């Protein structure tokens, strides 16, 4: 059964109020007391359940735009728990407690080991703490910023992250013992996160490969600005033309993943199906954005602003991927060191330098 694994029931961790998407795109609350059958069917289904919107701010008068906490889809939790290779007696750090359900599943697998789970949103942490207190599992909920890890409980045998990150904080590597594993969803530039499984080495680095698509909400301090490219065609914009319209990374997971490994910084991109299939890219740190509007003439209009030529970087990275024989994401890897992170193809010494780094400084 989807909602009941290893004795722990998902429904025991999900709050009474969950958020469901309406046809007009808004999410609205569904209260268990008002419609218990629908609530239970959703909770016992196979999808993620959104449990907080817009950081709980209620900016939109009872409706919500951006999901900020959820219970992960059961298939994805299972996959991550499998990648973690959990055994009895291990100590585990989880970043992003959410409902506490994933921490409970980990707790069952490692008891009499221990789980420390960190949640940044105080009300979310409080809910999870209360639900976990009904179990006898060895799980401790810390309210705080998981970017820093939790050095007081280190070293951990395993670290698992349930929020998307562009940059892996070195604290997670530092606090996982040599020989230990880190499983996290790495944020991509094309809306797809990808699961990374990193092994920590004796020299204090962590390295490993990728294992499929995983959609998560962002770690709070690594949220990109997806609105930047929407301001296109305003006063500061410049215009040019290009003969390329490289849309494949926007619609194909492996293409998007590969191109993403070559783009420097937190670049985000969308292709608007209902907006003339315009490609939009933005990079908040440099204030750069670009749009490419397709044309039947083969000469596509580009609008852009800021120091980066994002469409040129996209074209170069896409051409590189084609020339490399279109490798899929499982051939790529990531190494994290105290000074940063690097992608590689096939082997850790075949490094992939970022395109565009030199223009952003």
Positions touching ligand SAM (CB under 6 A) are: 68-72, 95-99, 101-102, 118-121, 124, 145-147, 162-163, 216-217, 219-221
Both tokens of 326, joined, read 């279109």
Q: Before 297, cis peptide (omega within 30)? A: no
Min dist CB 330 to ligand SAM, Å, is 24
Q: How far is the CB of 104 from ligand SAM (least distance, A)?
A: 8
Phi and psi, residue 213, nearest 5°: -75, 145
Minimum CB separation of residue 199 from ligand SAM in Å reads 22
106 or 198: whose CB is closer to ligand SAM? 106
Least distance (Å) between residue 184 CB and ligand SAM? 12
DSSP type of residue 154: P
Cβ closer to ligand SAM: 150 or 289?
A: 150
- Residue 9: alpha-carbon gap to chain centroid: 25
CB of 268 to ligand SAM, least distance (A): 17
DSSP single-letter state for residue 306 = S
Which residue number, 71 or 270, has a Cβ lying nearer to ligand SAM?
71
- CA 51/CA 30 separation, integer angstroms: 10
Nearer to ligand SAM, 69 or 261 (CB): 69
DSSP state of 89: T
Q: Report the run of H or E that residue 21 belongs to, with start and end.
A: strand 17-21
- In the bound state with ligand SAM, the residue whose beta carbon lies nearer, of 172 and 318, is 172
- Minimum CB separation of residue 232 from ligand SAM in Å reads 29
Which residues, other chains included, contact 321 with Cβ-Cβ below 8 Å and sequence gap of 6+?
255, 258, 259, 262, 327
Between 97 and 282, CB nearer to ligand SAM:
97
User: Are 28 and 62 spatial neighbours (Cβ–Cβ below 8 Å)?
Assistant: yes
Residue 348's H or E segment, with its range, is none
d(CA 348, CA 246): 28
């Amino acid at each position: 059964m989807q909602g009941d694994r290893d004795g722990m029931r998902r429904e025991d961790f999900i709050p009474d109020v969950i958020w469901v998407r309406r046809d007009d795109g808004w999410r609205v609350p569904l209260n268990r007391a008002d419609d218990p059958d629908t609530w239970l069917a959703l909770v016992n289904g196979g999808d993620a359940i959104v449990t907080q919107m817009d950081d709980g701010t209620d900016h939109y008068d009872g409706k919500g735009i951006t999901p900020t906490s959820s219970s992960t889809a059961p298939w994805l939790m299972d996959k991550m728990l499998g990648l973690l290779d959990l055994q009895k007696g291990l100590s585990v750090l989880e970043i992003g407690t959410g409902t506490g359900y994933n921490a409970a599943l980990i707790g069952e697998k490692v008891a009499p080991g221990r789980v420390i789970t960190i949640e940044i949103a105080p009300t979310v942490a409080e809910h999870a703490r209360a639900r976990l207190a009904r179990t006898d599992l060895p799980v401790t909920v810390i309210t705080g910023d998981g970017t820093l890890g939790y050095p007081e409980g280190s070293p951990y045998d395993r670290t698992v992250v349930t929020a998307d990150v562009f940059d892996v904080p070195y604290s997670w590597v530092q606090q996982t013992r040599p020989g230990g594993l880190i499983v996290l969803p790495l944020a991509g530039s094309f809306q797809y996160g990808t699961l990374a499984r990193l092994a920590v080495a004796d020299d204090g680095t962590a390295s490993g490969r990728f294992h499929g698509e995983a959609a998560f909400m962002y770690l709070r301090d690594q949220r990109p600005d997806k609105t930047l490219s929407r301001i296109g065609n305003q006063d500061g914009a410049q215009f040019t033309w290009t003969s390329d319209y490289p849309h494949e990374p926007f619609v194909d997971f492996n293409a998007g993943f590969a191109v993403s490994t070559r783009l420097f910084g937190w670049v985000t991109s969308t292709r608007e199906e209902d907006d003339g299939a315009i490609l939009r890219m933005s990079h908040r740190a440099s204030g750069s954005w670009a749009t490419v509007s397709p044309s039947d003439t083969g000469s596509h209009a580009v609008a852009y602003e800021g120091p980066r030529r994002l469409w040129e970087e996209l074209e170069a990275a896409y051409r590189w991927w084609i020339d490399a024989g279109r490798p899929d994401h499982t051939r790529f890897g990531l190494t994290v060191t105290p000074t940063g992170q690097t992608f590689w193809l096939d082997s850790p010494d075949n490094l992939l330098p970022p395109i565009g780094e030199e223009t952003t400084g």
